[in-house]
Amino acid sequence: MGLLARRNLFHDKVRFAVTLTGIVFALVLIIIQFGLFLGFTTTTSNNIDHSNADLWVVFHGVGYFDTGRNFSERKYYEVLSTPGVERAEKYMQAFGRWKRPDGRVENIQVIGFHPGSGLGEPWNVVQGSVADLKEEDSVFVDELYREKLGVEKIGDRVEIGDHRARVVGFTRGIRSFTTSPFVYATFKSSLDYTNPASSEDSTAYILVKASPGVSPAALQKRLHDRLTDVDVYTTAEFSRKTRFYWMFTTGAGLAVLTAALMGLVVGVAVVAQTIYAATMDHIREYGTLKAMGATNRYLYRVLMEQAVWSAVLGYGLAMIVAHFIVQASEKGGAIILMPWSMSLGMLVLAVVMCIAAALVSINKVTRIDPAMVFRG
Amino acid sequence: MHNLERNTVIRARGLSKIYREGATELRALQEVDLDVRAGELTLLMGPSGSGKTTLLSILGCILRASAGTLELLGEEVSALPETELPRIRRDAIGFVFQGFNLFPTLTATENVALALDVRGHRGAAAKKRAEELLAEVGLAQKARSFPADLSGGQKQRVAIARALAGDPPILLADEPTAALDSTSGRAVIELLQKLARVHGRAVVMVTHDPRVLPFGDRIIQLEDGRIVQGETSLADTLEKSPFLEPPTGEQISQVLSI
């Protein structure tokens, strides 16, 4: 039956090309949408995930990273004096205005941290050194936003919130979900850039590193019991809250997932139509098989094998196309992620999609009247 | 191979088939009694719409009779559940169709091997058996040809080889010579006759083709779903083969008393 399945599938090359096109189209659409979802999700929490902190202390009620609210730095000292804390650093996130050398203004998200602390620092540094940020009015930006921010190289000068700033380094691939590029500066400079009137005695976040042997969960409870008016999250918790906010509370993720679902539906419809049409082309052969004594189960297996062949070949082509799209996205503002688990999942999805599509044909074949073979 | 005794392998009693569409009722077959014996080539004849193909379909267990009983090889099959019928078709029956019904994407050998595959025989042994069957029908040299590269007669012989794949005691053929020229038709009918007389199979053949009359051991004439003339033998009546000298309409009418 395998031979018949393959021969019938590959015999009509045009039809098979249409089938494969449908599968590839559907899979690439799904990969892009899921990849965007993963990319967006990762982007929303990238500063948290790369913070190297065990715990985040945030103003009570702050639900996600991009709305940090300042609180007194007395909390910072309370944290520092808590047993089990190895290190703690103040950390700032606030929106600011970036004036390009040509005078145009762009919104940015300023990240303030303590260079050399090892907590909350930018990563994937491709030009300059984080230590260079210790120089007054110096900033790091991501090379993805060179054009948007109007800077080309180290040493370019701009204004942030009426303060001078000089680019001393570039990172690679640190995207901002809000479309306002991240600009890294010292904690002190970040206050000047975003709200000159604010006190240096306040902070939006406190990043905490637990002492060796102290579990973050235990330290979290200790800090929670000790501090008032703030919330204490593990890095994973705060990351999850931030991702959930952007992906589901705002509807951004639902929109992407809906598009992925639409891709799946379109894919099943296209593949079902082509497999059904191919089955109808060979309907007399299936009738002959039934007359010869083939069971419905035998016919299912022929159709299933065709579905699996279609799925595997369509998947292979889709992965090649997706690979190029994913590569191209690395240079854009919205990255499409395709981890190996997703690649594997797509194979399973392709097979399930094609088998689901084949069910329509199976239903038709099951109902074939074998007496049709005697009709002219 | 089956013994050459003239034992009954098909016994039909009171077979009727009624097609209903809304209030309309079509009696395709009415109270047909029929015995088919091994070693004989039985011809089912009659005008279009007389019920020949319906009867063949019921005998082949691919159509259910509305009434009556059918025994194949001593097994009452008319009462069997639908799920049992494929087994009967695999074990007892080989079909030969007017339009050949070969699989165009498979070679001659693969077409025959597919019939073995349906019966659970696969691999090298199945391929060898398929080649043997093709050799039996005189097509060893065309084993690797696709149907599109075969003549009508060759296609029908492949179809017969395929029908023999399960070594069935019963062969049912639906107008197997209708689409063939006289030479190919003669080769096919001779082959079917040999399968009946030499190999002891029961061959039932629906035909309109007067050229095959001398080859039939029995002729069953159907009209309006009823057997109007049974148990007639033309082979002994006509001395010359119609393929060499086709019978006249008068000859046929005399024999069949039409």
Closest to A83 (Cα-Cα) out of A178, A201, A219, A190: A219
Closest to B139 (Cα-Cα) out of B118, B160, B163: B160
Shortest Cα–Cα distance, A372 to chain B (Å): 10
Return d(Cα B185, Cα B217) in angstroms, integer: 17
| B237 HSE (CA, 13 A, CB side) | 18
Q: Torsions phi, psi of A275, nearest 5? A: -65, -40
Instruction: Say whether residue A366 is in contact with chain B using an 8 A CB cutoff.
Output: no
Shortest Cα–Cα distance, A8 to chain B (Å): 6
CB A153 within 8 A of CB A203: no
The first and second tokens of residue B146, run together, are 């696709």
Asked whether residue B22 is domain-assigned, the answer is no
Terminal-residue alpha carbon distance, chain B: 38
The first and second tokens of residue B34, run together, are 């029929």
Report CB contact under 8 Å: B104, A295.
no
Helices (H), chain B: 52-59, 85-92, 108-118, 123-136, 152-163, 182-197, 249-256
CB B114 within 8 A of CB B159: no
Asked whether residue B21 is domain-assigned, the answer is no
Asked whether residue B30 is domain-assigned, the answer is no
Asked whether residue B16 is domain-assigned, the answer is no
pLDDT in tens, chain B (258 residues): 444 345 899 999 999 999 888 888 888 999 999 999 999 999 999 988 899 989 999 999 988 999 999 999 989 998 899 889 999 999 999 999 888 899 999 999 999 999 999 998 988 999 999 999 999 999 999 999 999 999 999 999 999 999 999 899 999 999 998 888 888 889 899 999 999 998 899 999 999 888 888 899 999 999 999 998 655 555 444 443 344 344 555 545 544 443
Q: Which of A7, A11, A292 lies at the smallest CB-CB distance from B95? A: A292
- Condensed to tens digits (0 to 9), the pLDDT of residues A3-34 reads 888 888 888 888 888 888 888 988 898 888 88
What confidence score (pLDDT) does residue B256 get? 47
Return d(Cα A370, Cα A115) in angstroms, integer: 79
Contacts of residue A149, defined as CB under 8 A and 6 or more positions apart, other chains included, come to A98, A100, A106, A108, A141, A158, A181
DSSP of A10-56 = HHSHHHHHHHHHHHHHHHHHHHHHHHHHHHHHHHHTHHHHTS--SEE
CB B44 within 8 A of CB B206: yes
Return d(Cα A365, Cα A335) in angstroms, integer: 44
For an interface test with B, give the residue of A11, A288, A302 to mutate (most B CBs within 10 A).
Answer: A288
Asked whether residue B134 is domain-assigned, the answer is yes
Report CB contact under 8 Å: A292, B53.
no
Report CB contact under 8 Å: B87, A293.
yes
Please, which residues bridge with residue B32 across strands?
B15
What confidence score (pLDDT) does residue B239 get? 43
The first and second tokens of residue A152, run together, are 């080309």
Residues A35, A36, A41: CA angle, nearest 5 degrees: 100
Return d(Cα B193, Cα B203) in angstroms, integer: 8
The conformational region for residue B100 under phi > 0 = left, psi -120 to 50 = alpha, else beta, is left
Q: How many CB pairs under 8 A join A and B?
A: 66
For an interface test with A, give the residue of B58, B96, B105, B207 to mutate (most A CBs within 10 A).
Answer: B105
In the block, tokens 């090379």 appear at: A143
CB A310 within 8 A of CB A9: yes
The first and second tokens of residue A365, run together, are 């074949």
Query: What CATH number does the domain containing B216 carry?
Result: 3.40.50.300
* Chain A residue with Cα closest to B175: A374
Rg (CA), chain A: 29
In the block, tokens 């993963």 appear at: A38
CB B40 within 8 A of CB B196: yes
Diameter over CA atoms, chain A: 93
pLDDT more than 90, % of chain A: 49
- Condensed to tens digits (0 to 9), the pLDDT of residues A284-309 reads 888 899 889 998 889 889 888 988 99
The ipTM of this complex is: 0.83
The count of structural domains within chain B is 1
Instruction: Say whether residue A295 is in contact with chain B using an 8 A CB cutoff.
Output: yes
* Chain A residue with Cα closest to B52: A374
Is residue A350 within a helix (H) or strand (E), and if so which, with residue range? Answer: helix A340-366
Shortest Cα–Cα distance, A370 to chain B (Å): 6
Asked whether residue B17 is domain-assigned, the answer is no
Task: Give buried/exposed letters for A163-184 (b at 16+ CB in 10 A, else e).
Answer: bebbbbbbbeebbbbeebbbbb
Entry pTM: 0.75
What dihedral angle (degrees, nearest 10) is formed by the CA atoms of A284, A285, A289, A290? -20
Contacting A with CB below 8 Å, chain B residues are: 53, 56-57, 60, 62-63, 86-91, 93, 95, 97-99, 101, 103-106, 110, 114-115, 117-119, 162, 166, 174
Q: In the β-sheet with B67-72, what is the strand arrangement from edge to edge?
A: B24-37, B8-21, B67-72, B75-76
Fill in the DSSP letter of residue B167: -
Asked whether residue B142 is domain-assigned, the answer is yes
Containing structural domain, residue B228: 38-62+83-256
Beta strands in chain A (DSSP E): 55-59, 71-72, 85-99, 105-113, 125-127, 138-142, 157-160, 163-171, 182-186, 202-203, 205-210, 230-234
Contacts of residue A348, defined as CB under 8 A and 6 or more positions apart, other chains included, come to none
Report CB contact under 8 Å: A371, B90.
no
A219-240: average pLDDT: 94
Report CB contact under 8 Å: A374, B56.
yes
Fill in the DSSP letter of residue A251: S
Asked whether residue B27 is domain-assigned, the answer is no
- Condensed to tens digits (0 to 9), the pLDDT of residues A53-108 reads 999 999 998 889 988 788 888 899 999 999 999 999 999 999 999 998 888 999 99
Please, which residues bridge with residue B69 across strands?
B13
What confidence score (pLDDT) does residue B114 get? 93
